Structures are given as structure tokens and as C-alpha cells.
């Protein structure tokens, strides 16, 4: 079966992060823990919108190119608590492997992401959009602009 792709533009990502911020605005978070690398940019936008200055990271590796591998936490957040009062932000919850491990580490933190797939959505407290499990999301930081020749030139070959 062919892989399905969904392209998220910078504008769409920013819009979705602001919608998520609005949904989170009634909470009183002490800070944010961004899951690197995908959660860094959404966490920055959300931190601005919620006027949160305390931002930490947790670095998790689960993918090697497009293949899922073993979960490896390569950097823990500096907080040594159970996560109470903290907002965990990621771009996407896919299988739920990362979210499940982070929830075990920080059980009282609130977990939010922009996009969720069916297999992982139960591990998040809040998300903006559900996408199909077989959908590969192309985030703006994964792509580079490239010249596209005029259509007429490609038809003359």
C-alpha cells in the first residue's frame, strides 16, 4: 500500500498551535516541556501565547529516517518532580510509544499535541486534529522550497 502524505505549511502549523493555545488558556501551567525535535516549534508558539517563560525539553528518539525503532530517551527534563503543573507539547502522537513513556516519567503533566493518530490519541489530553494511522505528516521543517518550472515547459518534453 502506498504511503499517504499530509503537508503542513508554516501558516497551518502556526494556526493550529494558536488554536491549541486557546484551548489551554484556562489552565494555570508553571511551564512547558517540549518533546524534541517536533515539539520545539509548537512549544515556542504556545509559550508565547500563554506567556510561559519556563521551557524545558525531553529528547526522545524513536525514528531512524522513516522506520520506527526502539524508544531511547537521550535527555530528561531538568525538573525532578512528577510533572504536576507542566504542559508537555509535541507535534504529533503516532503510535503512542513516546507519549506512554513520557507519561510514565511525568504522570501528572498535561500532554497536548497538534495532531494525533488513532493508535496514540488515548495518550494525549488534548490535540487539534486526528489524522489517519497510515498518514505520514510532512512538517514545514522537513521540507525546503524548490524551483518549479512552468507547467508548459514540462509538457513540451
Q: Catalytic positions, please?
A: 90-91, 94
Q: Residue 36 is placed in which grid cell?
A: 524534541
**CA 129 to CA 146: how far, in whole Å?**
28
**CA 10 to CA 122: how far, in whole Å?**
27
SS3 131: coil
Radius of gyration (Cα) for the chain, nearest Å? 17
Q: Residue 117 is placed in which grid cell?
A: 493518530
**CA 151 to CA 157: how far, in whole Å?**
11
Amino acid at each position: 500500500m502506498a504511503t499517504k502524505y499530509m503537508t503542513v505549511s508554516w501558516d497551518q502549523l502556526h494556526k493550529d498551535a494558536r488554536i491549541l493555545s486557546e484551548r489551554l488558556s484556562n489552565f494555570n501551567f508553571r511551564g512547558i516541556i517540549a518533546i524534541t525535535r517536533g515539539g520545539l516549534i509548537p512549544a515556542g508558539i504556545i509559550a508565547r501565547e500563554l506567556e510561559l517563560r519556563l521551557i524545558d525539553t525531553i529528547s526522545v528518539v524513536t525514528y531512524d529516517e522513516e522506520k520506527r525503532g526502539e524508544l531511547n530517551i537521550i535527555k530528561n527534563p531538568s525538573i525532578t518532580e512528577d510533572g504536576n503543573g507542566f504542559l508537555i507539547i509535541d507535534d504529533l502522537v503516532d503510535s503512542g510509544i513516546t507519549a506512554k513513556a513520557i507519561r510514565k516519567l511525568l504522570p501528572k503533566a498535561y500532554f497536548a499535541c497538534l495532531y494525533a493518530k488513532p493508535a496514540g490519541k488515548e495518550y494525549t489530553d488534548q490535540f487539534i486534529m486526528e489524522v489517519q494511522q497510515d498518514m505520514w505528516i510532512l512538517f514545514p521543517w522537513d521540507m525546503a522550497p524548490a524551483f518549479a518550472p512552468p507547467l508548459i515547459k514540462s509538457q513540451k518534453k
